[in-house]
Structure formats: structure tokens, C-alpha cells
Amino acid sequence: MTALGQQPAGSYWLPLAIAAGLVLLTAWLGQLAGAPGAPEDGVVGHDPDYFVEDFSAVAFDATGAPRYRLEAVRMTHYMDDDSTELVAPRFVREGTGMARVAVRSLRGRVSSNGEHVDFIGDVRMLHERRAVVAPLELSTEYLRVTPDAQVIESDRPVLLKDGRGTVHGGALLADGRRGTLELTGRVKGIYETRH
């Protein structure tokens, strides 16, 4: 029998064990918080933060009519530079009073602000014109499309074909608002004349 006010020594171990466990848990959580997950200088690696399979996006004008559509087999977004990479992208511009333009390539990239779409590798563009005029076909290895500005450009060799012939150029700049197409570099072409 123990005296009043005295407890057996074994009854002190349980609170001490709980306190020690809390100290160890706190130390472990502190180590996890300081673990090298993100660099201390704030630089994040170029790792994807999300992706979408069978990606499709549509932009509308002020009246609610579709202006252009961008699709891809896969879209991957990167948080560090807010860039987006595309696999097998396809861009289509079709609006009221505008000629239909379709572009496809093996890969693509969308700028962080969504202003530009870069098409990379085996790029093909088809520009449909009036019904009686053959469409304009373009092929190159790189093409930048700026939909809102209606500008298409390439700093790589391009090949243009229509119903009358072919033209090769070292670079291209097409401005839809001005209705101009400029080829630079070594430009050469073959055109068929019809009588």
C-alpha cells in the first residue's frame, strides 16, 4: 500500500512517453519543412504542373461567334515560365467575312500570355480563298501564328503552292489586316501562265 499523495513510479512514464513522442514528431515535421523540395533561391524547375489529353479551346468574338480553334493530342503546361507545349496541334481560323486558315504540325508551343502559337516540325498550312481560286498551301519547319494581330511568320525556308505554281522563300511574313504576304531571302518560283 502506498502513502497518500504518493503514486507508483510507473504512472509517470505514460505522460513522459507522450511528451517525448510530441517532441520527436515536432522535430520530424521541422526537418520536413526544411527539406530541399523547392530551391531556397525561389527558382522552380521546368516541370509540368498539369496536362490535358485531347485538348480543344475556342476563342469567340464580341458577338459570340467562333473566331478560331486550337486543338492538340496533348497539352502540357509549365509553371516556371507559364509556357504550354502541344503534341500534334491544329489551329483553325474561321470567322464571318474571313478566309478559313488551318495549320497543323508535329509539335507546338503557346506563349505565356497566349498571344503567339508556334508550330514546329512538318508544318502545313492551308489558306482557303474565294471559291473560284485554288487554296494557298504552305509548308515549313517552323511557323508562328499571332491570331489577334492576324499575323503569320516564319524565319525558316518556306514553300508556297497554289493552283498556278510554287514559290520558295527563306522567310515569310503575312499580315491579314493589311492583306500582304512578304517573302525574303532567296526567293524563287515557277508560275504557269494560262491563255
In 10 A of CB 72, how many CB atoms? 25
pLDDT at 16: 55
pLDDT at 171: 94
Is it the case that residue 195 has pLDDT exceeding 70? no
Is it the case that residue 25 has pLDDT exceeding 60? no
Lowest mean pLDDT among 5-14, 44-53, 84-93, 171-180: 5-14
CATH of 48-191, one of 3.40.50.300, 2.60.450.10, 2.40.50.100, 2.102.10.10: 2.60.450.10
Lowest mean pLDDT among 21-35, 96-110, 124-138: 21-35
Is it the case that residue 15 has pLDDT exceeding 60? no
DSSP 124-145: EEEE---TTSPPEEEEEEEEEE
- In the three-class reduction of DSSP (H, G, I as helix; E, B as strand; rest coil), residue 57 is classed as strand
pLDDT digits (tens, 9 = 90+) for 54-77: 999 888 888 888 888 889 999 999
Q: Which residue has the cell 504518493?
A: 6
Rounded average pLDDT over 165-177: 90
Q: How far is CA 137 from CA 103, 154, 164, in A?
A: 10, 14, 12
In 10 A of CB 94, how many CB atoms? 15
Question: What are 157's three cell numbers?
Answer: 525556308
pLDDT digits (tens, 9 = 90+) for 127-143: 887 666 788 899 999 99
Length of the chain: 195
Is it the case that residue 3 has pLDDT exceeding 70? no
96-116: buried (b, 16+ CB within 10 Å) or exposed (e) per residue?
Answer: eeeeebbbbbebbebeeeeeb
pLDDT at 100: 83
User: For the chain, which residues make up each domain, given as ranges?
Assistant: 48-191
